[in-house]
Structure 1
Amino acid sequence: MTLALLLVEDNPATRGMLQQMLAGTAYRVVVAKDGLEGLSKAKAERFDAVLIDHKMPLMDGVSLIKNLRSHESYQQAPLILMTTQDIQQVAPLASRAGADLCLAKPLQEKQILEIFSDLARTIQGLGKLTLSN
């Protein structure tokens, strides 16, 4: 079963790196270049999970998470925020907005593969989700 992942990231290099990391996994990755495009794509198609950059033009990641959580189809969906800022400061803001996990950049391939492998098993009903940094 292929799962749909929305990747919302304004940096082309980071977008490409994450797409490469997730190639060959259970995910079909759809990209958005900013928060507004991410919101538009999320409204047009139901994604199984959303990976969101923190600082982006037009709409930041925390605002996008708040918007997504207000839609019924994303009230339970895993929403993961990525940041280059101090994780100790950003994580509480992300959590209050409705993020399930806040990751510090630069992201490590092993970490991403473990998180999204666990997530795929959980979504497919084969395991229990244990998201942690």
Structure 2
Amino acid sequence: MNILVVDDKKSVRDTISKFLVSLGHSVNTAVNGLDGFEKAQKTPYHLYIIDHLMPLMNGIVLSRNLKKTPFCAKTPILFMTTQGIDSVERLPEFILFSRIISKPINETTFISVVESLTNIVNDEELQRIAL
């Protein structure tokens, strides 16, 4: 799977990339929402992993923009936050996110969530091929 990780902290991008590569995924990274949006418009991804609070364009605005872009709209979003999952669940944009995880990231939880999302993508692709 081709995955885009969008986070303003290099250490987080590096850690997540390491986890994903160990699972056999191809990973690209972006340093903020604007960078992520530009990359998403140029390359097809199977999953977006997006941080909540970033400069230039935060994760909520990025997610909203991705869902408004036909090329990107159906791609699942794993949303990461330090603000608490409860606070994100109260946002009107909550429906844009496939899953939400808290930071700091727990490796076991993260891998489990990514595997569940990539399995959904695999199932949808198999259904399209069968049609």
- Specify the TM-score bucket, using the shorter chain as the normaliser: 0.7 to 0.9
Q: Is the 8 A contact 1:7 1:50 kept in 2?
A: yes
TM-score normalised to the size of structure 2?
Answer: 0.87
Match of 2:112 among 108, 111, 114: 114
Displacement after TM superposition at 1:78 (Å):
0.5
Q: Which stretches of structure 1, 4 residues or longer, exceed 3 Å deviation after superposition?
A: none
SS at match of 1:72: coil
Distance 1:26 1:122 in 2: 16
- Any unmatched runs of 5+ in structure 2? 125-131
Displacement after TM superposition at 1:124 (Å):
1.7
Distance 1:86 1:114 in 2: 19
Aligned counterpart, 2:98: 100
Distance 1:88 1:65 in 2: 18
Identify, as 1 or 2, the structure richer in helix. 2
Distance 1:14 1:24 in 2: 15
Displacement after TM superposition at 1:82 (Å):
0.4
RMSD (CA atoms): 1.5
Displacement after TM superposition at 1:119 (Å):
2.1
Matched, 1:75 2:66: no
Q: Is the 8 A contact 2:41 2:72 kept in 1?
A: no
Task: Flag the 1:113–1:51 CA change in 2: closer, same or farther, 3 A.
Answer: same
Aligned length: 123
Q: Is the 8 A contact 1:26 1:120 kept in 2?
A: no
Distance 1:120 1:80 in 2: 11
Aligned counterpart, 1:86: 84
Aligned counterpart, 1:20: 18
Q: Which stretch shows the higher mean deviation, 109-118 or 47-56?
A: 109-118
* Percent of aligned pairs sharing the same letter: 28
Displacement after TM superposition at 1:109 (Å):
0.7
Task: Flag the 1:9–1:16 CA change in 2: closer, same or farther, 3 A.
Answer: same
Aligned counterpart, 1:30: 28
TM-score normalised to the size of structure 1?
Answer: 0.86
